[in-house]
Structures are given as structure tokens and as C-alpha cells.
Amino acid sequence: MLRLVLMPIVSGFIATAGITAVLWAINKTGWTNVDMVRAVGGLITRSYTNALGVGLVIHFVNGMIIAAVYLHTFSILQLPNLQSEVFIGGLIGFGQGLFVAWAIIRFADRHPVPQFQQADFQVAAAHVIGHIVYGVLMGTAFGTMRMMGFDVSPGI
């Protein structure tokens, strides 16, 4: 039960908080508009002003679901140590970030909220960076749980 429910919830929450903080910080610098939480919420509310709460819920729930996939992948790979888990987590995050960046650039013009209808290289790069952080945090969480003696064996 712990492996299937609690581990993805806790590690997914931590990793999602990490990517959210990174993208928030990038957004606050003014480098580019990567307010992903509002963008996700805006897909549902079709409004910038009403998007934050809905976006936070969707973003964190998705982060926890994706965490289960990461954790299962780590358990199958049976990596030898924390450093390799952190590295592979970052590598998986890089791949996920590339996919998300491609999707954002490809479909931004269809977003219902005008503030999110344009995406460029900076938006893509910010999302790749954020997803690397997510993956690194997932690798760290998995390795820490393994070292603490939690059951991280593959399978259901």
C-alpha cells in the first residue's frame, strides 16, 4: 500500500512543488511567461483570473500520478546508488521536458487564454529546466526511500 499510494503522493508533491517553484522563479524574473499553473487552470476556466486554484489542483494531482510512473521506472531499473537514481531522474525529466516543450510550442496558439497563446524557445527551455528539477527530485525521493528501507520492488 505504501509503495503504490503514499510514496507517489509524497514524492510527487515534493517534486511538483520543486518544478512549480522553479517555473514561478523564472516567471518572476521576467525572462519569459511560464506561469504553468495558471496556464493549466486556464484550460479549464478559460480565464486568467480564475485559473490559479484550479491549476494548482490539476498540476499537483498530475505531478503525483506521474510520480507513480517515475517510481515504477526506478524500481524496474534497480539502480545501484542514490547518485545514479538522481542522474536518471534528471535524464527522464529532460525527456519529459522536451515532450512538454514541444507540445506547448505546437499547441499554444489554441490556448483559450490570450496570455498563453504564444510560446517560444525561452518558454520551451524553462519547461525543460523545470522538468529536470522534477526528475532530480523524484530520483532523490526514490533513493532516499530505498536507503531508509522502504519496499521499492517492482510490480504491483
DSSP 152: -
What is the tens place of the pLDDT at every residue in 93-141? 999 999 999 999 999 999 999 999 999 999 999 999 999 999 999 999 9
For position 6, what pLDDT does the model report? 87
Give the pLDDT band of residue 151 (cuts 50, 70, 90): confident
Task: Collapse the DSSP code of 1 into the 3-class scheme (helix H, G, I; strand E, B; otherwise coil) and give the result.
Answer: coil
Hunting for cell 510550442 — which residue is that?
105
Give the pLDDT band of residue 5 (cuts 50, 70, 90): confident
DSSP string computed for 42-108:
HHHHS-STTHHHHHHHHHHHHHHHHHHHHHHHHHHHT-SSHHHHHHHHHHHHHHHHHHHHHHHHHHG
For position 1, what pLDDT does the model report? 58
Res 60 pLDDT > 80:
yes
Q: What share of the chain has pLDDT > 90, as a percent?
A: 89
Res 86 pLDDT > 90:
yes
Residue 141 in contact with residue 62, Cβ under 8 Å?
no
For position 149, what pLDDT does the model report? 87
CA distance 100 to 98: 6
For position 2, what pLDDT does the model report? 63
For position 153, what pLDDT does the model report? 77
For position 46, what pLDDT does the model report? 97
Res 37 pLDDT > 80:
yes
For position 3, what pLDDT does the model report? 67
Q: What is the mean pLDDT of residues 56-61?
A: 97
Average pLDDT, the chain: 94
